[in-house]
Each structure stands twice: as C-alpha cells, then as structure tokens.
Amino acid sequence: MIKVKAYAAQSATSPIQPYSFERRDPKSDDVVIEIAYSGVCHSDIHTARSEWGPSYYPCVPGHEIVGKVIAVGKKVKGFKVGDLAGVGCFVDSCGKCSNCKSHEEQFCDDHMVGTYNSTELDGKTPTQGGYSSHIVVKDKYVLKIKKGQPLDRVAPLLCAGITTYSPLKRQGVKKGHKVGVVGLGGLGHMAVKLAKSMGAEVTVFSTSPSKQADAKKLGAKHFVITSDPKNFEPLEGKFDFIINTVSAKHDFTPYLGCLKIDGTMTLVGAAPEPSQVSAFALIFGRKNLNGSLIGGIKETQEMLDYCAKKKVLADIELIPASQINEAYERTIKSQVKYRFVIDAKTF
C-alpha cells in the first residue's frame, strides 16, 4: 500500500483538514502519479458539504490533478516514469457499454467511477481525490500532459477546461459566431478563452460590474450587466450559442431570448435548487436548452492538446493546503481570479 498525505472533509459541516490514508499498490495496468497541483472546483465544495446529495466521508475532494509519473504497472505502454500526467473527473468505467465504446465514458451505463466521492467498480471501495500527495489510476483514464507548460495553470483544464471545451466544440463554434458566456468564474473564464481561440465574438453576462475589465482582457468583446432587464432588450435574437456556467439558482428565460432561431444554451453550472425557465422562451424561436457533463477520455486528451497548441491556460491563484477552507469561502463569494490551485508540496 502507498501511504498518502491529504486533506479531507470528515462531515458535511466540518472544515477540510489534514488526513492520511493508503492507496492501493499498483496493478499491472496502473499508473502511480506524484501529484504536483490540484485545482479547487466549485463541485468540490458542493460535494464536501453534501449539497448535491449525501457524500461519502471522509471525503478527499479534487479532480483537476496534474503531476509526475513515479511508477507504472508491467502492462502499461502509454506512460513511463518521469512523464507528466493528468487525472480528471473520473478514474474508471465499465468499458463495455455503448457509451464507453463511443468514448463517452462519463455517461457509462454501468458505473462511471468518480475521482472522489464514488466507489470503485466493486461498488464498495471509496475513491479519494486530488487533495493528496499521490494517486493510483488505471492507465486508460490517465491523460498525457505536454512538457514545457506551467503545470499549475494546466490543472484546471482537467475539469473547467473540458467542461467548457466539449459543448463549444459540439456546437461547432467558429469564426463569425456570436457566443455568450453567462458568469465569469472558474468555468466562465475558460469558456471565454476557448470561444475566443475558436474565432467567436464573445459577450460576457455577469452580475458584477467589477469584472468588465477582466472580461475584455480574457478576450470578450462585449459585457452585459444582468441585474438590469433592459440590458437584454438590444440582444434579442443575436447569439448563435450561449454557455451558462452559473451554479446558483437563476432565471434562464432572458438568455434564451438572446438566441437566434434554433440557437442553443448549454448548462454547465449546476445549482442545488431548480432554476426557472418559461416554455414560451423555448417555443418562440425553436430555442434549445441542454446540459453538458465534462467529456470522455479521448475528448479530454484532445482538449489538452488543443490548449497546449493554442496556449490556452487557466488564470489561477496558487495556495498552500492550509488555505483550502478560506479558498472555499472566497470561491462562493466569487473572490478568486479565477481558479484556486493547491500546491501539493504543502500537504
């Protein structure tokens, strides 16, 4: 067994605090990664606090993981000791269902094994995430990281990057398209960067006037304050696609009104409570409202390669593990630009 230093939540109301546990010895198809950095996703907060349903405790969050390979099983061919590697939101799946065979493992019909707050395929062994010094993962679920990149800024790509890349790619966003991004946080700032890199004209919708300068710096051409309903009126029917990253309850209707005929708004933010939407906002203009969940391993690797080529990286604030609880509170208050990343040397 591999002894691991970590930070964990012991209950829905307890702070994230030091914790130690053991990872499994590597099997023939496993990769052992010494973690360098782990991003702090809003999902970590929801899960640590059981806001998306009951969580397993102790809970070691973290699914934006990058580090160095320190050991590989005898059957592993794609990785060697010394390689840079990443782990995203899941670490296993059945591999046999139609979704897995179509490289959509995140929708595994049997059991998508989450990086944390899940169980292994045996249905019993709990998984623990990236707020830890090491992780052992089956080689098919490990991502290749190209050398020469700042690893701390790559880490958030494993969730925030793929979560926004996948729907933008699926909608075929390209030069000439008008794309709206709702919310400018960890997901939103990646959506702006990626949509801009694809050639789109980007508009940010936000409740925070203070974020206007940052939105422009990240690549947005326009900025809309959503607290005033009148600001939506000139935008009716203007957008090809809107990606909604907000994880708090809000009304979808005004944004749907901004879409062109047959336009789509994709939800990637998930509020604990149901949000509002008017049926008429969908009916008039044949608007589409859908959701998107990360991406499969193949698409995630594609995203990492794309971001390396286009030099798309997350904007981060690097913190020691001792500041995780403060980071949680600041994330909830949108007081981070734009992703906290934990330095694993501080575990």
Buried b (16+ CB within 10 A) or exposed e, 151-174: bbbbbbbbbbbbbbbbbbbebebe
Among candidate residues 92, 89, 70, the one with its CA nearest the CA of residue 81: 70
- Given a cut of 80, whether residue 272 has pLDDT beyond it is no
Phi, then psi, of 219 in degrees rounded to 5: 130, 0
Q: What's the pLDDT at 241?
A: 98
Cα within 13 Å of Cα(30), Cβ side: 14
- In sequence order, which residues have a C-beta less than 8 Å from that of residue 306 and are 6 or more positions away? 165, 312
Angle between helices 160-170 and 186-197 (to 10 degrees): 40
Q: How confident is the model at residue 29 (pLDDT cuts 50, 70, 90)?
A: very high
Output the CA torsion sign for 80, 59, 292, 203: negative
CA distance 149 to 92: 26
Q: What's the pLDDT at 273?
A: 82
- Alpha-carbon dihedral angle through residues 195, 239, 201, 275, given to the nearest 10 degrees: -50
pLDDT digits (tens, 9 = 90+) for 141-200: 999 999 999 999 999 999 999 999 999 999 999 999 999 999 999 999 999 999 999 999
- pTM of the full structure: 0.94
DSSP string of 152-183? Answer: HHHGGGGTHHHHHHHHHHHTT--TT-EEEEE-
Q: What's the pLDDT at 334?
A: 85
CA distance 125 to 237: 50
- Given a cut of 90, whether residue 53 has pLDDT beyond it is no
pLDDT digits (tens, 9 = 90+) for 190-224: 999 999 999 999 999 999 999 999 999 999 999 99
CA distance 247 to 43: 9
Q: Which two tokens stand for residue 232?
A: 């939506």
CA distances from 123 to 72, 120, 126, 191 (A): 25, 6, 8, 35
Domains of the chain: 2-159+314-346 (3.90.180.10), 161-291 (3.40.50.720)
